[in-house]
Amino acid sequence: MNKDKLQEYFSIPNILSYFRLALIPVYLAVYFAAEDERGLRWAAVVIVVSGLTDMLDGKIARRFNMITEWGKFIDPVADKLTMAAVALSLAFRFPLMGAVFGLYVVKEGFMAVMGFVMLRRGFRLDGAMWYGKVCTAVTYAVVFLLLIFPMMREEVRVSLICVQLGVALFSFVMYALLYHRIWLKSKKKA
């Protein structure tokens, strides 16, 4: 492997993405081993570290001009796998999180298919849109609160999860509208 490829694959932002991927089994082990609130708080610490490295890798990449094609791929993969693992694991303790996981699978499946279709038409979405970033931030916040305060009143917990569902649905609709507009533009050019 040449020096440029090594620098691309092992830039600091990409190493942070690999670290986030490595945190997924750590989170799952800590979460499922948790026997009390203290154990769940340790799972929350893992999620906070993951979220901070997610923010940090993007800032470093932009600030120090370390944006790579591989980084554009691996960063969202780490995000999606982290969110899927967290939503699915929380569904065992909080059943409504199963709806979050289901919506997540549908949204990300749609995004993957449309991304592939649009790529074949010569268009590539360059990074997350603001509503995708808001969705990720809200998801991290809700997950953190559920882990830190697992004994919160049920109506509060349900409200938080419903907010997360609403934001995820909004993000899904906004991406669907974006892809629809792009699709129409690409048909006019053809």
Paired tokens of 64:
């120090």
Per-residue pLDDT of 164-179, as tens digits, reads 999 999 999 999 999 8
Query: Three-state DSSP class for 140?
Result: helix
Q: Domain boundaries in the chain? A: 3-189
Q: 1 by DSSP, 3-state: which? A: coil
Query: Per-residue pLDDT tens for 58-90?
Result: 899 889 988 888 888 899 899 999 999 999 999
Say how far apart CA 190 and CA 180 lie, in whole Å.
15
pLDDT higher than threshold 80 for residue 37:
yes
Q: Which residues contact 79 (CB under 8 A, 6 or more apart)?
A: 20, 54, 136
pTM, rounded to two decimals: 0.88
Q: Which of 91, 107, 110, 108 is nearest to 99 (CA)?
A: 91
Q: Which fold has domain 3-189?
A: Four Helix Bundle (Hemerythrin (Met), subunit A) (1.20.120)
